[in-house]
Amino acid sequence: MPMSADFEQRLNPLLQGIADHYGTPFHIYDEQGIRDTGEHLNRVFSGIEGFREYYAVKALPNPRILQIMQSLGFGFDCSSVAELRLCRDLGARGEEIMFTSNNTSQTDFEGAAAEGGCVLNLDDISLVDKVPEMPELICFRYNPGERRTGNSIIGTPVEAKYGVAHDQLLDAYRRAKARGAKRFGLHTMLASNELNYTYMVETARMLLERVEWISQELDIRFDFINIGGGLGIPYRPEETALDIDAMAREITELFQVFGQKHGYTPKLYVESGRYITGPHGVLVTRAINRKEIYRTYVGVDACMSALMRPGMYGAYHHITVPGHSGSDEVVDVAGSLCENNDKFAIQRTLPKVSDGDLLCIHDTGAHGHAMGFNYNGKARPKELLLRSDGSVELIRREETLEDLFATLDYEADLYTPAD
């Protein structure tokens, strides 16, 4: 079921008024839905001491949303200096932030160490010597390559650029220890929009096995394992939601077994973005043109600057036309960019749409606005928050032409290479 049914019930009666007040297009996020999902996650994992979600900031990097994450007790997963800054501006410090960069630069390291630091998650063994100062707590991102776990195959990330290879793993911790690290974490991220919960259970199992092995070899103890993000959401109406309860139950069992054997358990971290906010956002856009050529096109006032996923990955986003039901016609829903992949839907069956109708493009609460871009001089739309008390707050204004031209405002700098 795309977009939570509760959100739809809350939003639809208010939609026309909100659109009249703020103008279209806009993304709107559902505070109550985000809170419900976050609280549920905390509840199902409450059997593991020290469980914590580190919200993947890149999914929806808006300070008002990140404040909601803080109030749920979540930390933040950052992968850039800009994301670190957003979180620190909200007061997050030290172990409230995990920094998972890749192809890490010295600027990244400086950003990570600044303002109370963060948990550094190193993406390669070569970085052990490049970190200006080895922190007391260090984590590595592990890339298992050909899957080496017990009974299930959960992908062969040999082509992925991320992480420390299996054969380097022991050395990575050995060298970090030699440089002064005292506490350790182990991270991996192997799934993307995965609806089969057993993948995450297998990931946890694999990491616990590695922890056992590395601890024995190097006489170190692990503070935490981080099973990454990638928890899926059902974008299509016929898909079933990830069974988070079963996932939590089975991972909790793995931790119990580990605890009985070793007399302690590491903490469990996840860093989900999509699962937490994805279904709790929609892009609201107005039909402005109807075009009948070889196909019928519904032209809307948003374009792929607001939502890249359909154009970039061919991703499906469910579309509804509030106040209209029925399956009247097959259309392409298009924006105004000079790119033929600027379509929110291709050959989609929708109710008959007329100019002026509002369309809701579902599940834009993660990797939606954040992925937007300015090609063709298209500005990104505003973001709104439907608050738990029923009021609506503007949480980001739309971009203006001045914003787009801001980088053309600079001091003259002419360089004449001597010959």
Residue 232 CB, nearest distance to ligand PLP (Å)? 8
DSSP 231: B
Site residues (CB under 6 A) for ligand PLP, limited to 36-55: none
Q: Taking CB under 6 A as the rule, which mask of x and - marks residues 164-203 in contact with ligand PLP?
A: -------------------------x--xx----------
CA 178/CA 329 separation, integer angstroms:
66
Residues 6+ apart with CB under 8 A from 147: 153, 154, 155, 156, 206
How many CA atoms, within 13 angstroms, populate the side-chain half-sphere of residue 29?
Answer: 30
231 binds ligand PLP (CB under 6 A): yes
Spell out, one character per residue from 397 to 416, where the chain touches ligand PLP: x when CB under 6 A holds, - when not.
Answer: --------------------
Nearer CB in complex with ligand PLP: 24/143: 143
Distance (Å, whole) CA 324 – CA 229: 36
- β partners of residue 185: 139, 224
Residues 316 and 270 sit within 8 Å (Cβ to Cβ)? no
Query: Helices (DSSP H) in 305-359: which residue ranges?
Result: 309-313
As a whole number of angstroms, the distance between CA 188 and CA 202 comes to 12
CB atoms within 10 A of CB 317: 23
Give the active site residue among 78, 139, 338, 360: 338
**Smallest distance from ligand PLP to CB 48, Å:** 19
The answer to whether 307 touches 329, Cβ cutoff 8 Å, is no
Closest CB to ligand PLP among residues 176, 366: 366
The single residue listed with the structure tokens 């991220």 is: 189
Asked if 233 and 363 count as a contact pair (C-beta separation under 8 A), the reply is yes
For ligand PLP, the closer CB: 22 or 142: 142
* Rounded Cα–Cα distance for residues 315 and 366 (Å): 13
* Binding of residue 273 to ligand PLP (CB under 6 A): yes
**What does the per-residue mask of binding to ligand PLP show for 57-96, with x meaning CB under 6 A?**
-xx-----------------x-x-----------------
- For residue 16, the minimal CB distance to ligand PLP (Å) is 31
Catalytic site includes residue 338: yes
Distance in Å, CB of 54 to ligand PLP, minimum: 8
Which range, of 45-53, 172-180, 272-280, 351-359, touches ligand PLP by CB under 6 A?
Answer: 272-280
Residues 340-399 that bind ligand PLP (CB under 6 A): 366
User: Could you list the residues that contact ligand PLP (CB under 6 A)?
Assistant: 56, 58-59, 77, 79, 100, 189, 192-193, 228-231, 271-275, 366
- Catalytic residue IDs: 338
